[in-house]
């Protein structure tokens, strides 16, 4: 695995592979690599000749500086993990390599960034869109893979790529869960033992809600009861617990099996904010 820190060397390396007709697959990450990420590497490997991963904790997508500062940094372990997953190139740029002094450009998406995580994390998806456009321009991958756990991010990236005529094909990867049902997340590293035991309830509640919704139970009461159950079990603030159209991410008031919909949740457990989602079709 080649570890590259600067854009120029990375571009030279990529041009070499492109010239010989290789398919480039990209897995962008912020590090703190877990089996979810490694599963993305495994999935893209099936379609790509050269797998590139990136580790860059993108300050611009943190609306909360404390969250940025607390973001787990486990670079040595990440390198070991990527090496065993047979990643070809790891790109680990410094902040100034990505955002030099003269940096003034912003990218914004209307509406689709307003609901769900966009509500409590203003600017978050603008930061995501910016780093994705930059990485795609630097790496020009044929394919890039994103997990459905960050479903809003996935949809925003799909829209961005469509709107800006970017050539990269976006692949969606199913959520990887612990046996307990807890969705894998770098943030799980911040959960203490007690919280780790509680966290799987999120997925259990989503499964129960799905059953109730498919059995035509009123959406509002399904949401209200589930919210109460989370509170009773010791969860903190629920940023959102909503049923949305998965295309435009707008809330659905009456369930209709013809609309591709999902239940989306963001909830605090202690100081850690966890997200999950489940499809209703």
In the set 40, 44, 50, 109, which binds a second copy (CB under 8 A)?
Answer: 109
By CB under 8 A, how many residues form the interface with a second copy? 26
Residues from 61 through 100 that contact a second copy (CB under 8 A): 100
| Cβ(178)–Cβ(203) below 8 Å | no
Does the footprint of a second copy cover residue 101 (CB under 8 A)? no
Q: How far is the CB of 100 from a second copy (least distance, A)?
A: 8
The dihedral sign for the CA sequence 226, 230, 231, 232 = positive
Sheet containing 143-147: give its strands across.
2-4, 89-91, 50-55, 24-29, 143-147, 169-173
- Phi and psi for 177 in degrees, rounded to 5? -120, 150
Q: Do residues 245 and 270 make contact, with C-beta atoms less than 8 angstroms apart? A: no
The residue with tokens 């999120």 is 202
277: closest CA among 179, 230, 209, 180?
209
Sketch the per residue contact string, 128 through 167, with a second copy: x for CB under 8 A, - otherwise.
-x---xx--xx--------------------xx-xxxxxx
Q: Is 124 a catalytic residue?
A: no
Q: Which residue number, 84 or 163, has a Cβ lying nearer to a second copy?
A: 163
State which of positions 24-53 bind a second copy (CB under 8 A): none
Q: Which is nearer to a second copy, 140 or 195 (CB)?
A: 140
Binding to a second copy (CB under 8 A) within 2-21 occurs at 7
CB of 151 to a second copy, least distance (A): 17
Out of 5, 111, 197, 216, name the contact with a second copy by CB under 8 A.
111
Q: Please identify which of the residues 34, 37, 124, 203 carries the catalytic annotation.
A: 37
Shortest distance, position 85 Cβ to a second copy, whole Å = 26
Pairing of strands 261-269, 238-245: antiparallel
Residue 35 burial by CB count (10 A; 0-12/13-18/19+): exposed, middle or buried? middle
- Burial classification of residue 44, based on how many CB atoms lie within 10 Å of its CB (0-12 exposed, 13-18 middle, 19 or more buried): buried
Contact 265, 238 (CB under 8 A): yes
Site string for a second copy, 167-206 (x = CB under 8 A): x---------------------------------------
Q: How far is the CB of 104 from a second copy (least distance, A)?
A: 4
Q: Which residue, 160 or 280, is less far from a second copy as judged by CB?
A: 160
Closer by beta carbon to a second copy, 167 or else 193: 167
* Collapsed DSSP state (helix, strand, coil) of residue 247: coil
> 67 — alpha (psi -120 to 50), left (phi > 0) or beta?
alpha
* Least Å from the CB of residue 93 to a second copy: 11
Closest distance of CB 128 from a second copy, Å: 13
* Token representation of residue 119: 């509500």
The 8-class DSSP code of residue 71 comes to S
Q: Where on the chain is the footprint of a second copy (CB under 8 A)?
A: 7, 100, 102-112, 129, 133-134, 137-138, 159-160, 162-167
Report, as residue numbers or ranges, the catalytic residues: 37
């Amino acid at each position: 695995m080649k570890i590259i820190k600067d854009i120029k060397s990375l571009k030279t390396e990529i041009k070499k592979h492109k010239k010989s007709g290789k398919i480039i697959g990209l897995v962008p990450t912020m590090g703190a690599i877990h089996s979810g990420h490694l599963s993305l590497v495994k999935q893209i490997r099936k379609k790509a000749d050269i797998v590139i991963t990136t580790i860059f904790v993108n300050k611009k997508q943190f609306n909360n500086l404390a969250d940025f500062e607390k973001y787990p940094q486990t670079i040595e372990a990440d390198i070991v993990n990527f090496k065993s997953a047979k990643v070809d190139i790891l790109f680990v740029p410094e902040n100034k390599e990505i955002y030099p002094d003269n940096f003034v450009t912003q990218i914004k998406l209307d509406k689709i960034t307003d609901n769900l995580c966009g509500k409590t994390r203003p600017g978050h998806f603008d930061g995501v869109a910016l780093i994705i456009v930059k990485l795609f321009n630097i790496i020009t991958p044929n394919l890039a893979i994103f997990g459905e756990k960050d479903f809003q991010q996935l949809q925003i990236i799909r829209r961005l790529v469509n709107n800006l005529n970017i050539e990269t094909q976006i692949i969606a990867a199913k959520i990887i869960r612990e046996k307990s049902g807890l969705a894998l997340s770098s943030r799980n590293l911040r959960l203490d033992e007690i919280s780790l035991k509680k966290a799987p309830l999120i997925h259990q509640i989503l499964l129960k809600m799905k059953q109730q919704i498919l059995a035509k139970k009123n959406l509002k009461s399904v949401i209200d009861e589930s919210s109460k159950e989370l509170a009773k079990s010791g969860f903190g603030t629920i940023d959102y617990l909503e049923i949305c159209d998965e295309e435009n991410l707008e809330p659905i008031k009456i369930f209709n099996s013809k609309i591709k919909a999902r239940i989306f949740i963001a909830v605090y457990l202690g100081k850690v904010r966890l997200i999950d989602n489940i499809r209703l079709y």
